[in-house]
A and B are shown apart, each in its own frame.
Chain A
């Protein structure tokens, strides 16, 4: 059964993404695209003539997609959370190397931003893993979701996680990775056709990846986890509609000055 879910992960993510676009549109009193728009996009992209810049560049996008899929699969299978964070790191580095591997200013700018985003959220993800480990006594997700009550013990850590969710799903105020007014397509700019589709689907997987972290905070209660995910999903989109984009250095500063102390403070609190 679990393998079926893993196989369907990109589609599942696509549904989340489509749903989010509708939700955001409704918040802005627009009608928005159809719910299945991501899949219509897919058919359109597959139909296009594919142009590539050079082969390694195109292949890195495919590798990025599969590495990301792999880390989402590892979450579904309930493996070691720390390993999962680093599997995700591999996936991100493949994307960043892809961005750097072409001689395009926008691609470089986009990859620079992806790298800086990584610098912002990576420590928090690891601290979340460590915090969950300290409470549950296990780095395995299967072990973590057998205990409950993370929210009571790790509220500040959860707040820190909340602050990095917008970075991962590229939502305001931390949507520097997607600022098309500044960097056009960013890392994605030199892709087209089927290879762009891989990058597009990677975005769906990112949703599953980061919201899984939120879900784990629900602990043994699946319902609490689901409520948390739904609540965070709403909140992130609300904030996205209500705030303006900050600059990249500001983003890093905010994460290091606010989210990091929160996370560390929480760890100090449960250790003492």
Chain B
């Protein structure tokens, strides 16, 4: 089953290269169906699967890795980016040294544990839906047909890379797949091939390469001092340089999760076509960050390193939510809120208790669903209405009631009960509060969590204020039609969000919590209630004698340059501090 998950998207990717649009729909729907079925059935089974890779495959991976790094070097030279060149060269040297120093493997390179199975769910279901959506999205893109097919194929290839990375046990294999995701990011951001895309792609490349460098450094420490490059054996060690190695690996997580000061690459990535933003930059790829911390969490536990990581994550949550308040491009707002929530997930993972790790996973799942929905809806706005900035979206509900409905559902599902993300935050507050007596430092995490969540409420509802604002019923509303290729993925995601939220509440066995689902009843009863309101007379809006037309006022908070500088420097110092704490403890 595992092999199917990895190989099926690759095989389909090749088929897509030679097929018409209709076949593309069929193939991507098939990948979605089979992938979801396999990942759900894998999730149900509980056995731990592990196996060695054949020697030949290992050799091929080493060769591919070298080619990849050399490709980065060439790209750096071609586009004249010294940072990319230096980092690629450093990686090349470190990689060769690490392969040379790596002890021959005693344990398996591939291990499928509970966490991997959970990640399969997210990757295959949400990822599959996004691939299905991207077929329709590409129809409207003004590029040559072969490029469209390449795009969909690349998305599918990326799915299999993601499926592989979450069960990689060998750090060197993990590094290879990490670099593959970086490559995917780089290629897909540069897809439109204009000046901005190119510059942003290069920035994404060099920032992610820092992640590659620290992974290799961590691997080298593990190989030289602890004599292993396998994650599971590494985590069974104790003392010595273990924490240093773990610290270096978690720094890679911070980079991949676009934590401040690395938020630039994720924000820049928003110039890519929307399915890319949905898939790579919110639903799946950046989830490597919390995934990696969750992997390392058993040794983080009560160590100082775990404390520093969770505080960093929690502060990123607040800072990114705050910085998002100054943005007006819809996708950038979504991007910053992704950075924020990834920080929260990492913070919870790094706390390292069983409960907090579970909550981190819950947040990951629900965030993937909600953000995918939001990005896909943003794609509809972009393709059908040519809108990107929230300033232009004033009273959009009048023109596009359905799309706005999806967006508001996305916002509500990120902030309010009874939806999973809210529940995750609620339980996280309870859980962290119960730990406070033993670990007072977590107070920082708790307070950040509270303030950050409130800021996100402000952010999302500020955006909805522009979208909503319907004129009075005295003005006629026109009907909106969303093409089926867009509406089916959107409806699928909405249903998943609803059912997952209700399911999550049901498994808590708490009657009081079930009361939180009451607002849903209100929403479902709304149409019939609206019909019953017909006998009330309608009126136009009161303008207090003013004649000017209405213009929705949006609230913005822009930190001054000094404060912004302080935020970036502060997080830069925290990032370096992670390594120092690793060395010292």
Q: Which residues of A contact B (CB under 8 A)?
A: 49-59, 63, 67, 70, 79-80, 82-83, 86-87, 89-90, 93, 96-97, 100-109, 111-112, 115-116, 118-119, 122-123, 126-127, 130, 133-134, 139, 184, 189-190, 192, 260, 264, 267-268, 271-272
Contact = CB atoms under 8 A, between A and B. Distances in A.
Given A82-B430, A184-B544, A119 B472 contact: no
Contact of B465 (A58, A63, A108): A108
B552 A53 contact: no
Contact of A55 (B446, B455, B473): B473
B527 to A, nearest CB: 10
Given A105-B543, A112-B555, A134 B436 contact: yes
Nearest to A77: B512
B544 A116 contact: no
Contacts of A190: 541-542
A80 B464 contact: no
A101 B470 contact: yes
B213 to A, nearest CB: 38
B544 A106 contact: yes
A83 B515 CA distance: 10
A53 B462 CA distance: 22
B570 interface: no
A105 B551 contact: yes
29 contacts: A50-B537, A51-B536, A51-B538, A52-B533, A52-B537, A53-B473, A58-B533, A59-B526, A70-B515, A82-B430, A83-B426, A89-B457, A93-B415, A93-B457, A100-B468, A102-B541, A103-B470, A104-B469, A105-B552, A108-B552, A111-B465, A112-B465, A118-B457, A119-B454, A127-B447, A139-B430, A190-B541, A264-B443, A268-B440
Interface residues of B, number: 58
B429 interface: yes
Interface string B13-48: 000000000000000000000000000000000000
Contacts of A134: 433, 436-437
Contacts of A82: 426, 429-430
Contacts of B522: 63
Interface string B287-330: 00000000000000000000000000000000000000000000
Contact of A100 (B433, B446, B469, B471): B469
B519 interface: yes
B224 interface: no
Main secondary structure of the interface of A (DSSP, over half): helix
Nearest to A62: B529
Contacts, number: 171
Contacts of B546: 105
Contacts of A189: 542
Contacts of B56: none
Contacts of A86: 417, 422, 426, 516
Contacts of A111: 465
A216 B386 CA distance: 53
B537 A53 contact: no
A103 B530 CA distance: 19
A79 B412 CA distance: 24
B506 interface: no
B512 A83 contact: yes
Closest 10 CB pairs between A and B?
Answer: A51-B539, A55-B530, A55-B533, A271-B440, A100-B465, A54-B473, A100-B468, A104-B541, A53-B472, A123-B450
A88 B45 CA distance: 41
B422 to A, nearest CB: 8
Contact of A59 (B416, B422, B530): B530
B526 A271 contact: no
